[in-house]
Amino acid sequence: MTDSELQKSQEALKSLTVESLQTPEGQEKFNQAAGRYIRSKIKKTSLFYKVIPPRSVTADKLVGIPSYATSEQPDLRCRMSRVSVPSNTKPVKAMLMDMRGKPVPDYTDGRQPLSIPMGTVKTKWFEKTAAELSASGSLLKLAEEMASWEVKERDRKFLKYCELAVKESRQVLRKSGPLQKDHFRKIQHLALKNEIEPKIVLLSEMAVMDLDLEKSAAKISGMKCIRSQDDDVLTPTVVWSFPAPDFLGYNLYWGDYKVCSKQERADRWNFQGWEVIGGGIGNVNGVTKLILGFMAGAIKIPDDFDRLGGPKEPTIPNEYRADVIRAVDICKEEGCRDVFVLGSDAVRRHGSQAGLDIGVRGCPAKHFYRLLGRLMEELAHPVGLIDLEHEARIAEFLDREGQLVHVG
């Protein structure tokens, strides 16, 4: 959709009022205008869509056709050619992305045509009162809210699949301190080992602040620069790089973006959007991740994680260090300011209770249980989580006893 078409959908939404929704014709006009607007905003602002531009597919390429009249989500597939891969004889793994529900790795042979999973992806229901919809421009504001929700959800899922890709390929660099220009050359060197030339770099606007770059710089070290201002989606401690889309994968959609509007009561409306989408990373070696220590410009952690100072100097055993590194990354991604390992030996190492106890400060309240779930899912050992700002007495006791190991 061009900017002029986006402008047309904006104008159409501005011309509508809550009274327009009282007739079937008015509802249909809103649904169509909102659908066009939401799709165009996704294409314009989504990080996923900037890395892999979307392609429309026709019904003849799909196995099975979804029904918009029901909530069923059949197992659809779209057969696509493999992405361009290096000419060497090394095996190439592809990863199919099902954009419905929780991201789950589905690896396949990257030298064969890809069978991309397609499915109906829906927004949550947006509930609005008649009073909220009576203000000027309220229907355009609603469409903007729905589009923003869609963009965040799709970008989070895409980056989760990127995490799964580098977990498989081990294309990960770790550097302490703030982001430096030399880091991008190291990214390029790592990718070129697999005969893949990185063309795109994705990073947080905050990470760019450490570089001596023009604010509007479109490239870094010859790579297209895509910047995110949403730290809820992309943490400043992570930089991603990708090859050109033809060497990376697919971002597919079928049909129009649909919007449903329902009047639940005289003074209350519900709205939902959905479309059929799917994707795939054709070569997991094309995704490279740079982790910037434990926050850009923050503490440099000693190799052995010894606590600096204190009478007992608790340390972290070798078998737990990979989990501690991953735990810090996860905690920082979820917005925590400080991360600690707790305990007299920094870990629980006896019997069925063996594991890590993690303490955090500055954790957003709405992220705490999601953070705990991620730690339990992604670490190799059992883990416990304590918010030290809410458990002040425990924090005071552990600090007095020298049992807070500051790891990030």
Mean pLDDT of 153-170: 92
As to burial, measured by CB atoms within 10 angstroms (0-12 exposed, 13-18 middle, 19+ buried), residue 107 is: middle
pLDDT for residue 85? 76
Mean pLDDT of 23-38: 93
Lowest mean pLDDT among 135-139, 252-256, 309-313, 321-325: 309-313
Mean pLDDT of 35-54: 95
pLDDT for residue 347? 46
Backbone angles phi, psi at 231, to 5 degrees: -70, -15
Write out pLDDT tens, residues 179-225. 788 889 999 998 888 888 999 999 988 777 767 666 667 888 899 99
pLDDT for residue 355? 73
Mean pLDDT of 384-393: 74
Write out pLDDT tens, residues 124-136. 999 999 899 988 8
pLDDT for residue 292? 67
Residue 364's pLDDT band, with cuts at 50, 70 and 90, is: confident
Hey, what domains does the chain have and what are their CATH numbers? 53-129+153-289 (no CATH), 301-406 (3.30.460.10)
- The 8 Å CB, 24+ separation contacts for 63-66 are 66/119, 66/120, 66/276
Asked whether residue 361 carries a pLDDT value surpassing 80, the answer given is yes
Residue 89's pLDDT band, with cuts at 50, 70 and 90, is: low
- The 8 Å CB, 24+ separation contacts for 361-368 are 361/336, 361/337, 361/387, 361/388, 361/389, 362/335, 362/336, 362/337, 362/338, 362/389, 363/331, 363/334, 363/335, 363/336, 363/337, 363/387, 363/389, 364/334, 364/335, 367/334, 367/335
Mean pLDDT of 158-171: 91
Cα 146 to Cα 116, 270, 277, 382, distances in angstroms? 26, 12, 17, 38
Residue 232's pLDDT band, with cuts at 50, 70 and 90, is: confident
pLDDT for residue 111? 86
pLDDT for residue 352? 43
pLDDT for residue 296? 28
Q: Are 246 and 84 in contact (CB under 8 A)?
A: yes
Percentage of the chain beyond pLDDT 90 is: 36
What is the helix (H) or strand (E) element at residue 27, kind and residue range? helix 24-45
Write out pLDDT tens, residues 45-74. 999 999 999 999 988 888 875 554 444 555
Residue of 180 and 269 predicted with greater confidence: 269
Percentage of the chain beyond pLDDT 70 is: 82
pLDDT for residue 125? 95
DSSP helix, strand, coil percent of the chain (3-state; round to 5): 35, 25, 35
Asked whether residue 41 carries a pLDDT value surpassing 80, the answer given is yes
- What is the residue-averaged pLDDT of the chain? 82
Residue 299's pLDDT band, with cuts at 50, 70 and 90, is: very low
The angle, 0 to 180 degrees and rounded to 10, between the axes of the packed helices 138-169 and 24-45 is: 40
Residue with tokens 């070569």: 283
Mean pLDDT of 261-279: 91
Residue 395's pLDDT band, with cuts at 50, 70 and 90, is: confident
Asked whether residue 295 carries a pLDDT value surpassing 50, the answer given is no
Lowest mean pLDDT among 29-43, 57-71, 269-283, 371-385: 57-71
Residue 308's pLDDT band, with cuts at 50, 70 and 90, is: very low
Residue of 95 and 101 predicted with greater confidence: 95
Q: Would you list the DSSP string of 146-158? A: HHHHHHHHHHHHH
Q: Which segments of 214-336 are extended strands (E)?
A: 219-220, 223-228, 238-242, 249-265, 268-281, 288-292
Residue 102's pLDDT band, with cuts at 50, 70 and 90, is: confident
Residue of 280 and 59 predicted with greater confidence: 280
